[in-house]
Chains A and B, each alone.
Chain A
Amino acid sequence: MILIFSVLSQLLRFYYDGFRNMSNWGRKVWIIIIIKLFIMFAILKIFFFPDFLKTKYDNDKQRSEYVLDQLINSPANHD
């Protein structure tokens, strides 16, 4: 138990020191990462990218019925 605590504490210190002593470019890059992840997960995923089948149907049986219909009635592609 003490060993696990010691390893965890060393690990935390390793990351803490790493972030604390980060260079200028590192800070800039982290700001970009945080903004990017916020835009991706808090805006794009929630408002623009719902899972189509999950939002439209309640269970997998209904989803498979829908896809089966789509496969049977799939139209031709003209590219």
Chain B
Amino acid sequence: MIENVDLVLVNWSRAQFALTAMYHWLFVPLTLGLSFILAIMETIYVRTGNEEWKRLTRFWMTLFGINFAIGIATGIILEFEFGTNWSNYSWFVGDIFGAPLAVEGILAFFLESTFVAVMFFGWNKVSKKFHLTSTWLVAIGASLSALWILVANAWMQNPVGMIFNPETARNEMVSFWAVLFNPVAVDKFLHTISSGFLLGSMFVLGISSWFLIRKREELMARRSILIAGVFGLLSSLMVAYTGDASTRTISKVQPVKFASMEALFEGKSNAGLVAVGVLKDTDKKIGERVVKEFAFKIEIPGLLSVLTGGDKDAYVQGITDHVLGNEKRGIMSVSEKMQKGQFAKDVLMDYKRARMINDKEQLKSIKGIFRDKEFHDKYFRYFGYSSIDKPEDVIPNVPVSFYSFHLMVILGFLFIMIFATALYFLFKGSLSDNRWFLWIALLSIPLPYVASELGWILTEMGRQPWIIQDLMPVSAAVSQINSGSVITTFILFAVLFTALLISEISIMVKQVKTGPRH
């Protein structure tokens, strides 16, 4: 069936979505993090009445405003792409995506848009307490907006709480709570917002360090570093904790992604955790896919078994276990899943035939089959495997998964050290004397962005070949449109987003150089 796939169209559609999502994600986490830092700073101002805290809040609010305004609506482009480039997918997901996105739209509009205006226009016009409430509501609203998008994304990683309706060819939500409290959604939300808090803290820490390097606004800089240091340290610890929880969930619901993150081809007991490693090709193959091994690694023996299974002897499943199956461990092979998926597809074909001859009794009976939980759990959940050509096609790009995951984790530990060091020097009163550290803090501003983007690369690339885990491969989701128009819009977006980013950075740099108003 491979001749039916327009790989140029699929790959450019993916590239375009990746480009827009990654640019969009340059704006979002700063909004998430900086909004809470502003709320904390303004709370101190309202409680102490100290005008210096107000001045400081207004300075960071200016930078927040620039980022918020330039990033606004960049996510809508993703929705354009759903309707044009990914129409099969958009139709198939039905109200699972519609409901969370509608809630997100309402929250974003009423909470963020309304109270952002009070934040910027309301100084000295509304009461201090009302202004402070508005700032907190903007911060909470931003995180709640993110919640619904992440719930929708989590469903793509672990589709739950729905049944498929063959009449409409759509999935229908049967349990809103199952979708909302999907374990992937809970982990993803906590991990993502805490990484946004971390990013906002590093932004404040880095810019404040610049003021100290320049010996300008030193009181403001120290106070900002105090808030950013404490908030950043707590956030980075939360990122580590939620990242660990997220990895454990992935090991259960997306075991092939988990094995790829660890580059674990062969399952084993007493599996070590590779802290740093370099992969190389071997002569071995799984089908047509080359097996990788470590050319170099620093490993903590037994830790992966302990982290995933609770003890050193716990068996950690490898990629081979999932592709070829492992009867002893109760792991189903891809071939078996392909048969189950094909059975579900055959039932769907029967439905289509019944519709063509208008056999109402048969239509009713097949609709009932799709509503049956046993059929869903045994067959329909593997529906996507019916479109898989060879078992090894379910293996994602292992080096991309491994390196993006490990680099993100390494950066995560670096952030903990940076925030802890900043607080140490601050409380010791020697922050300005350690210029080397101030430079490190300043130069570290881009690093949380890198870590955040790596997290999304792992999330999305590690799920391949699926757009919806086990239910729909990417190739089945794409619209049959002209690949030329996708390439054209890819270039347009690249130009538009780059222009926006340059504008944001140049306006921000100018405002930072101007400093807070007196």
A-side residues, CB < 8 A to B, are: 14-15, 17-19, 23, 25-26, 28-30, 32-33, 36-37, 39-40, 44-45, 48-54, 60, 63-65, 67-79
Is B72 in contact with chain A by the CB < 8 A criterion? yes
Taking the complex as formed, is B479 at the interface, i.e. its CB lies under 8 A from any CB of chain A?
A: yes
A68 touches B348 (CB 8 A): yes
- In contact, B4 and A45 (Cβ under 8 angstroms): no
Instruction: Tell me which residues across on chain A come within 8 A of B125, comparing CB atoms.
Output: 14, 17
A39 to B326, CA, bound (A): 54
Asked if B121 lies at the interface with its beta carbon under 8 angstroms from chain A, I say: yes
Whether A26 lies near B65 (C-beta < 8 A) is yes
B66 contacts across to A, CB distance below 8 A: 25, 29
Q: Which of B63-108 contact A (CB under 8 A)?
A: 65-66, 69-70, 72-73, 76-77, 80-81, 83-85, 87-88, 90-92
CA distance in complex: A71, B168 (Å): 12
Known: A28-B507, A76-B5, A79-B396. 18 other contacts (CB 8 A): A17-B121, A18-B121, A23-B62, A25-B65, A36-B496, A49-B80, A49-B83, A50-B84, A51-B84, A51-B87, A52-B479, A71-B345, A72-B348, A72-B349, A74-B387, A74-B473, A76-B390, A77-B475
Could you mark each residue 129-158 of chain B with 1 if its beta carbon is under 8 Å from any beta carbon of chain A, else 0?
Answer: 000000000000000000000000000000
| Residue numbers in A under 8 Å from B511 (CB-CB) | 25
How far apart are the CA atoms of A79 and B2 in the complex, in Å?
Answer: 12
B169→A25 contact, CB < 8 A: no
Provide the bound-state CA to CA distance between A15 and B83, in Å: 35
Cross-chain contact A40 with B77 (CB below 8 angstroms): yes
> Given A17-B121, A75-B2, A75-B5, A29 and B70 touching (CB < 8 A)?
yes
Minimum CB–CB distance for A20 against chain B, Å: 10
Picked from A64, A68, A70, A78, the residue with its CB within 8 Å of the CB of B7 is A78
Are B92 and A67 interface neighbours, CB within 8 A?
yes
Q: Which of B83, B120, B121, B168 contacts A52 (CB 8 A)?
A: B83
Measured CB to CB, the nearest residue on chain A to B166 is A68
Q: Give residues in B with beta carbon < 8 Å to A.
A: 1-5, 7, 10, 62, 65-66, 69-70, 72-73, 76-77, 80-81, 83-85, 87-88, 90-92, 117, 120-122, 125, 166-170, 345, 348-349, 351-352, 386-390, 393, 396-397, 464-465, 472-476, 479, 481, 485, 488-489, 492, 496, 500, 503, 507, 510-511
Q: Tell whether A79 pairs with B397 under 8 Å between CB atoms, given A52-B83, A68-B169, A72-B345.
A: yes
Asked whether, in the complex, the Cβ of B69 is within 8 Å of the Cβ of A30, the reply is yes
**A49 to B77, alpha carbons, bound, how many Å?**
9
Nearest chain B residue, comparing its CB with the CB of A30: B69
Q: B84 to A49, Cβ gap below 8 A?
A: yes
User: CB-CB < 8 A to B85: which residues of A?
Assistant: 52
Partner of A71, one of B2, B169, B496: B169
Query: In the complex, which of the residues B73, B87, B92 has the most CB atoms of chain A within 10 Å of its own CB atom?
Result: B87
Are A29 and B389 in contact (CB-based, < 8 A)? no
Of all chain A residues, the one with the shortest Cβ separation from B383 is: A71
Distance A69 CA – B4 CA, assembled complex (angstroms): 14
Nearest chain A residue, comparing its CB with the CB of B473:
A77
Contact between B80 and A45 (Cβ–Cβ < 8 Å)? yes
Residues of A within 8 A of B472 (CB): 74
Q: Closest chain A residue to B351 by CB distance?
A: A68
A32–B120 contact, CB under 8 A? Answer: no
B interface, by DSSP: helix, strand, loop or mixed?
helix
In whole Å, how far is A69's beta carbon from the nearest beta carbon of chain B?
8
Contact B5–A78 (Cβ < 8 Å): yes
Contacts of A23 in B (CB 8 A): 62
B168 touches A74 (CB 8 A): no
Contacts of A48 in B (CB 8 A): 84, 485, 488-489, 492
Q: Which residue of A lies closest to B74 (CB)?
A: A36
Closest residue of chain A to B384 (Cβ to Cβ) is A74
Top 6 nearest A-B pairs (CB, nearest first) are A18-B121, A76-B389, A74-B476, A77-B475, A52-B87, A75-B4
Residues of A within 8 A of B503 (CB): 32
Say yes or no: B73 contacts A37, CB within 8 Å: yes
* Cβ contacts under 8 Å, B168 to chain A: 60, 64
Nearest residue, chain B, Cβ from A43: B492
**Contact present for A79 and B83 (CB under 8 Å):** no
Once bound together, how far apart are the Cα atoms of A42 and B86, in whole Å? 21
A44 to B20, CA, bound (A): 13
Docked complex Cα distance between A73 and B476 (Å): 9
Can you sample 22 A-B contacts with CB below 8 Å?
Answer: A14-B121, A14-B122, A19-B121, A25-B510, A32-B69, A36-B500, A39-B496, A44-B80, A48-B84, A60-B168, A65-B169, A67-B87, A67-B88, A68-B351, A73-B4, A74-B88, A75-B3, A76-B1, A77-B476, A78-B2, A78-B7, A79-B397
A77 contact from B62, B69, B393, Cβ within 8 A: B393
Closest chain-B Cβ to A41's Cβ sits at a distance in Å of 8
Picked from A36, A37, A45, A76, the residue with its CB within 8 Å of the CB of B473 is A76
* CB closest chain-A residue, reference B123: A18
Which residues of chain B are near A37, meaning CB under 8 Å? 73
